[in-house]
Amino acid sequence: MRTTSFMALVASLVLLVVHVSVFWFYVADDAFISLRYVDRVLSGQGLTWTDGPAVEGYSNLLWVMLTALIGVTGIDLFLALRILSVSCGIGALCFVCVPLGRHSASASWVAGAAIAASTSVALWIPGGLEQPLVALCLAAALAVLGKGLSEPEPTARTVLPAALALSALCWTRPDSPILVAGLTLGWFLASGQTWASLRTAGVLCAIPALATLLQVAGRLAYYDDWVPNTAHVKVRPSAFHTDMGAIWTYQALESHGPLLLLALTAFGGPVMGERPRSRVRLALPVLGAWLAWTVSMGGDVFPAYRHFVPMVVVLAWLAGSGVAGLSRQRPGLGPLLALVASGLLGWMTAGQWSRAVEQQARNEGWVVDALEVGATLGSAFLPEQPLVAVSQAGAIPYASRLPSLDMIGLNDRHIGRSESVEGGWLGHDTGDGDYVFAKRPDIIFFRGPRGNERPSFKSEKELAERRDFAETYALLRWQTRPHHVDEPVEMQPWVRRSGALGPLLEDGRVKVPAWLLTEHAGTAIPRTDGRLVLVLDTGDRASGSVVLPSGAWMAPEMDGLTIEVVPEDRRWRIDVLATQPIELAELVFSPARIGPSSGHGPASR
């Protein structure tokens, strides 16, 4: 590579790093779904999300396995994820820029700057999902095929490295065969449409097809399913989803309008040794196939058009190829094109920023809260191992390592196949409240990691509509101990009154944990060992309605507390008033010869 081309590559890498740093705070909750699989496979629990029948609740097998490969060294898994993301992002840019740099420094700069300027790329490198690896595999295939276009008679050896890259791509996302099909058709059209082209196109698609079949066979053997469970949740074709997908695809294209203009330069002239417009013929089927897929699947709910990342790579490759071809025809034109491209790409980034991409990303700051909540639950309830039901299945289950239930169904076979809400939020419109209730989860979160009284998603709404839900569950007030944030996170989980976290009958006495005494007043907070307790100052109150075993129980007496026990229908209301500063972990009720009895309810645990 010439010195000027190397400098162009370095400059585009610097631009990418700067742009990524703006979004370094961002990570998607779904990234922690993958990390939970990684964590469990490294701990010997298999490629699973929770105990019970194995379910494939991820859509990025190779991403999961590469993260595990880095994590096996012992480094923090989130750091391993970031190392993988950044490495793939840099690798993708290099695969696009370096081959073009052999022809023109201006072409290398335009292609690299196009990738670096896209907020889709910049946000999804730190975002934690597989888009950087998709970009890397696709960029590697384009680099190989672009070089092959200059060969007089391409052979199977010519396309073999591209086929291997596309095989890795198919293991990265289950919908990647769409990209493979587009590239295979594009290669046949671009390489001459001869028998030799047909043979090499066969090699190009046969190896990824074999890789896909191997993965399907493994999926059938391990998960007993033909497709990932995520496909049952997210791929539900309908007129509504098509309309939403069309809007999403149009907006993604519009936001990258300047890059589209630069990609049109590929019509201007061929790179040295290639047929005219061969790169256009190679790229157009890929673009068409993938954009048709994003329309049919309904687009996406995440910020910055994450499924457009592969298209950014293709468009940047076309833009750089166009500049290389035009520079070959008119050697002095390259610097001018690079200057114009820089202005257009700056305009593109400014336009994307004006769409409040950063604010959309910051709106998902609740993921950090979820990590706090998960860490608190994990340390507080390690002995009890309660079942935690969530609609956001990433950070809380990952950080807590507790048994979990995915109420949307990405990681639950039954819910993943349940009826969806017509016109619901893409990938979040499935649920079954009766099924969740029958699973008897000990903790349920409505509306996110902080919890809420009001439901949001389908399972939550169906739970709230049950007449017996409020009888069975209490809305409590708990607090985290700060780890990743400056202030404690206040949460309101629904907790089963008589489950793993309910009163414990032991040695003829009933122990009522303090975390239950926050239904009507008070807040439970973690002490130094992680267990939740009530820390009350003089005059502070706490109150909760609990289910005690049938029988007569004597209210406890404790220094520093005034305790009042009032029988309610099927429950006992316990009110405590601190007469001096006190830390309360539990109340212990002893049998009474004569006393009130609820006459209801089995032993709690």
Q: How far is CA 388 from CA 44, 272, 428, 475, in A?
A: 21, 60, 18, 14
Give me the mean pLDDT over the 319-336 stretch.
91
Beta-carbon contacts of 485 under 8 Å, excluding residues fewer than 6 positions away, are 368, 369, 372
Beta-carbon contacts of 103 under 8 Å, excluding residues fewer than 6 positions away, are 271, 272, 324, 327, 328
Give me the mean pLDDT over the 234-251 stretch.
91
In the structure, what pLDDT confidence band is assigned to residue 268 with cuts at 50, 70 and 90? Answer: confident
pLDDT at 605: 33
- Kindly state the percentage of the chain with pLDDT values over 90: 81
pLDDT at 602: 33
Torsion sign across C-alpha atoms 394, 398, 400, 402: positive
pLDDT at 376: 96
Question: Furthest-apart CA pair in the chain: how many Å?
Answer: 103
**Which residue from 125, 133, 88, 96 is spatially nearest to 112, judged by alpha carbons?**
96
Question: Bridge partners of 573?
Answer: 545, 566
Q: How far is CA 365 from CA 27, 376, 518, in A?
A: 8, 18, 27
Give me the mean pLDDT over the 562-588 stretch.
90
pLDDT at 604: 33
Radius of gyration for the chain, computed over Cα atoms and rounded to the nearest angstrom: 29
pLDDT in tens, 482-491: 776 778 999 9
pLDDT in tens, 533-551: 999 999 999 999 999 888 7
pLDDT at 487: 86
pLDDT at 292: 96
* Distance in angstroms (rounded) separating the CA atoms of residues 136 and 134: 5
Question: Bridge partners of 561?
Answer: 578
pLDDT-wise least confident of 240-244, 246-250, 387-391: 240-244
Whether the predicted pLDDT of 269 surpasses 60? yes
pLDDT at 481: 83
Give me the mean pLDDT over the 407-412 stretch.
96
- Kindly state the percentage of the chain with pLDDT values over 70: 97
Q: Backbone phi, then psi, for 162, in 5-degree steps?
A: -65, -40
Helices then strands, each counted (H, E), the chain: 23, 17
Q: How far is CA 166 from CA 33, 163, 226, 282, 430, in A?
A: 25, 5, 20, 15, 32
In the structure, what pLDDT confidence band is assigned to residue 566 with cuts at 50, 70 and 90? Answer: confident
Beta-carbon contacts of 240 under 8 Å, excluding residues fewer than 6 positions away, are 298, 422, 423
pLDDT in tens, 293-327: 999 999 998 999 999 999 999 999 999 999 999 98
Beta-carbon contacts of 292 under 8 Å, excluding residues fewer than 6 positions away, are none
Whether the predicted pLDDT of 265 surpasses 60? yes
**Which residue from 226, 135, 232, 236 is spatially nearest to 179, judged by alpha carbons?**
135
pLDDT in tens, 450-489: 999 999 999 999 999 999 999 999 999 999 987 767 789 9
In the structure, what pLDDT confidence band is assigned to residue 594 with cuts at 50, 70 and 90? Answer: low
pLDDT in tens, 344-359: 999 999 999 887 787 8
Show contacts of 147-151: CB within 8 Å, 24+ apart: 147/99, 148/191, 148/200, 149/190, 149/191, 149/271, 149/273, 149/274, 149/275, 149/278, 149/279, 149/282, 150/271, 150/272, 150/273, 150/274
Whether the predicted pLDDT of 494 surpasses 90? yes
Whether the predicted pLDDT of 201 surpasses 90? yes
Whether the predicted pLDDT of 270 surpasses 70? yes
In the structure, what pLDDT confidence band is assigned to residue 1 with cuts at 50, 70 and 90? Answer: low
Give the number of other CB atoms < 10 A from CB of residue 448. 19
What's CA 447's distance to the chain center, in Å?
Answer: 17
* Distance in angstroms (rounded) separating the CA atoms of residues 20 and 186: 32
DSSP line for 226-253: SS-HHHHHH----HHHHHHHHHHHHHHH
Give me the mean pLDDT over the 243-266 stretch.
95
What domains lie within the chain, and their CATH numbers?
A: 3-355 (no CATH), 360-469 (no CATH), 502-605 (2.60.120)
Whether the predicted pLDDT of 585 surpasses 80? yes
Q: What is the DSSP letter of 430?
A: B
Two tokens, residue 135: 């970009």
